[in-house]
DNA sequence: ACAGGAATTGACACTGATGTCAGTTCTGGC
DNA sequence: GCCAGAACTGACATCAGTGTCAATTCCTGT
């Protein structure tokens, strides 16, 4: 059996030397090929979904043999992981570059509308960073949960990173007496989850995504709440 | 080949008639067996995760042969689907039984604190319904996204069901002049996503879940916003 | 006690995807 | 023009999980 197998193997390998009309090979420097594969994989994943897509899909879309992909990535997970690391890096950059809460122009004398504008801008910055690569976002938000190995962990790391930043901002604003002293950790989660769901549901319902309306509504609720002013002041609060 | 296969098949089937110490069969009426399988599957899924768990895992945990499971379910997806349909039914019941917004005692003369209490109760009711079967919740929230076939659709259906109810409530309250006329659809998504994330992150970080604190914080933000009152009234809004 | 039906089983065949690798083709430097 | 090595390839072996089914065991009614 093994002998037979070996014989067939040695004999039969590259028989199809001069096949008619087979695709011609193309050669790329390693770095370029790697980048190309990532590009294509992004498309394939976001179209068919990570689970449904397999290595062969990516390779045929990239017009390369399956063996080629394995030269650059260990397996499908590694490809996804690489995509997600990019997202993470982009998020980190946005978070690192964000203006500190303490530097808000009028500090604690600022009128509410100015504060709202500041918050809107911040939410927009994050959303823009995320949507710079919309396909990966869809992927990440929709189905990259509950996967084996590192994928889950990178996802969780991104979440924690963003939450930590939001929490810090909230606490800073609380110290400045601008925001009420609610549990910053819970509130951060609430806010992030809210925005996430707005995006997600729009994607699910295949609506166009109006990032502006989204940021506006979120900030409006977060800062001012839903109650109309008359009802709100009907009786002393706190 | 096929002849040989058939021979081996006929000859070799139930050879191990009297094996030593093999597990004894147990017999159950169909309905009971089905229920038992669902019970066990719930555990297995929520422990190993849906992706990682396979049919064999469920069967060995249920102490039945793999063939048995196939008498009751077509495949792994069908098992999960059945679990999720249960969740959906439970959610529907809670939503259908919820008191209408119009019936809130003092109607639009109610003071804000009463309204807040009403909202908290509503959020708690939903959360309680969900957490009546915590294991499935974890499963659903964590990784049942982006699966093939009907799973995705049931998930989406649950989401849409809850969102629709929340949206209706919001609009009713807006008509009564209690809540500000923000985009009800967006706000509903924001609120649901916020609560979802609070739960999810707590699960991810393996914190104990304080449903009360969670509902309280969420409602506080939703209704009254984060701004402290002095800042809020610093300059006329709208 | 026996027949017939219900419940259970695990060996088998199958499938689809995976990762490997010997061999082929190109490219760039000399 | 030629060589070294980089890039590419697809046939192969393998594997894990799936679904099937003939055979077995139990249960129930007569």
Kindly report, residue by residue over B94-116, the tens digit of the pLDDT. Answer: 999 998 887 766 655 778 888 89
Instruction: Sort residue A81 into left (φ over 0), alpha (ψ -120 to 50) or beta.
Output: alpha
Q: Where are the alpha helices (DSSP H) in chain A?
A: 2-12, 30-48, 55-62, 66-72, 76-97, 112-131, 134-143, 150-175, 184-204, 211-224, 229-232
Nearest to B60 by CA among B45, B77, B40: B40
Q: Alpha-carbon torsion B165, B171, B175, B180, what sign? A: positive
Where is pLDDT greater, at B12 or A86? A86
- What is the Rg, in whole angstroms, of the alpha carbon atoms belonging to chain A? 25
Least Cα separation, residue B105 to chain A (angstroms): 15
Q: Is the pLDDT of residue B139 over 90?
A: no
pLDDT of residue B15: 37
CB of A51 lies under 7 Å from some atom of strand D: no
CB of A3 lies under 7 Å from some atom of strand D: no
Bases of strand C lying below 7 A from some protein CB: 6-14, 16-27
Q: How far apart are CA A37 and CA A43, in angstroms?
A: 10
For residue B88, what are the β-bridge partners?
none
Query: Cβ–Cβ of A142/B146 closer than 8 Å?
Result: yes
pLDDT of residue A108: 59
Q: Is the pLDDT of residue B21 over 50?
A: no
Query: Cβ–Cβ of B194/A198 closer than 8 Å?
Result: no
DSSP state letter for A107: G
Nearest to A196 by CA among A216, A218, A212, A179: A218
pLDDT of residue A9: 33
Instruction: Sort residue A78 into left (φ over 0), alpha (ψ -120 to 50) or beta.
Output: alpha
Query: Cβ–Cβ of A145/B147 closer than 8 Å?
Result: no
Give the CA B33 to C1' C5 distance in Å. 18
**A196: nearest CB among B145, B197, B235:** B197
The residue-averaged pLDDT of B120-146 equals 82
Greatest CA span in chain A, whole angstroms? 90
Find chain A residues with C-beta within 8 A of B177's C-beta.
228, 230-231
Give me the phi and psi of A224, to 5 degrees please: -105, -15
Residues 6+ apart with CB under 8 A from A22: A16
Q: How far apart are CA B155 and CA A219, in angstroms?
A: 28
For residue B179, what are the β-bridge partners?
A227
pLDDT of residue A134: 83
Give the CA A139 to C1' C27 distance in Å. 37
Confidence of residue B235 (pLDDT cuts 50, 70, 90): low
pTM reported for the whole predicted model: 0.85
Q: Which helix (H) or strand (E) holds B158?
A: helix B150-175
Q: How far apart are CA A151 and CA B51, in angstroms?
A: 13
Find chain B residues with C-beta within 8 A of A76's C-beta.
none
Residues 6+ apart with CB under 8 A from B180: A224, A226, A227, A228, B174
pLDDT of residue B25: 87
- What is the Rg, in whole angstroms, of the alpha carbon atoms belonging to chain B? 25
Q: How far apart are CA B162 and CA B189, in angstroms?
A: 10
The residue-averaged pLDDT of B137-162 equals 79
Nearest to B134 by CA among B42, B50, B38, B34: B42
Least Cα separation, residue B122 to chain A (angstroms): 16
CB of B10 lies under 7 Å from some atom of strand D: yes
Q: How far apart are CA A185 and CA A98, in angstroms?
A: 19
pLDDT of residue A144: 62
Q: Tens digit of pLDDT for each residue in B44-87? A: 998 888 888 999 999 999 999 999 999 999 999 999 999 989 98
pLDDT of residue A233: 81
Q: Which helix (H) or strand (E) holds B220?
A: helix B211-224
Residues 6+ apart with CB under 8 A from B61: B40, B43, B44
Confidence of residue B149 (pLDDT cuts 50, 70, 90): low
Q: Is the pLDDT of residue B19 over 50?
A: no
Per-run averaged pLDDT (10 residues), chain A, 238 residues: 33 38 80 95 90 93 95 94 91 92 68 89 91 82 68 88 96 93 98 94 91 96 93 66
DSSP of A204-229, one letter per residue? HTTPPP-HHHHHHHHHHHHHH-SB-H
């Amino acid at each position: 059996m093994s002998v037979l197998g070996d014989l067939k193997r040695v004999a039969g390998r590259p028989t199809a030397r001069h096949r008619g009309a087979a695709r011609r090979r193309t050669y790329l420097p390693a770095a370029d090929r790697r980048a190309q594969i990532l590009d294509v994989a992004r498309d394939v994943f976001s179209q068919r979904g990570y689970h449904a897509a397999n290595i062969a899909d990516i390779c045929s879309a990239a017009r390369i043999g399956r063996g080629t992909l394995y030269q650059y990535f260990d397996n499908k997970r590694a490809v996804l992981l690489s995509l997600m690391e990019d997202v993470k890096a982009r998020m980190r950059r946005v978070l690192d570059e964000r203006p500190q809460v303490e530097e808000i122009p009028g500090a604690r004398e600022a009128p509410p509308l100015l504060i709202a504008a500041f918050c809107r801008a911040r939410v927009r910055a994050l959303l823009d960073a995320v949507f710079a690569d919309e396909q990966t976002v869809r992927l990440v938000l929709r189905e990259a949960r509950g996967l084996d190995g590192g994928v889950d962990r990178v996802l969780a790391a991104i979440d924690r990173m963003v939450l930590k930043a939001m929490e810090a901002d909230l606490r800073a604003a609380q110290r400045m007496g601008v925001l009420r002293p609610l549990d910053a950790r819970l509130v951060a989660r609430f806010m992030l989850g809210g925005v996430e769901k707005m995006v997600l549901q729009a994607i699910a319902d295949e609506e166009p995504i109006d990032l502006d309306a989204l940021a506006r509504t979120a900030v409006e609720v977060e800062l001012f709440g839903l109650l109309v002013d008359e009802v709100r002041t009907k009786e002393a609060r706190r």
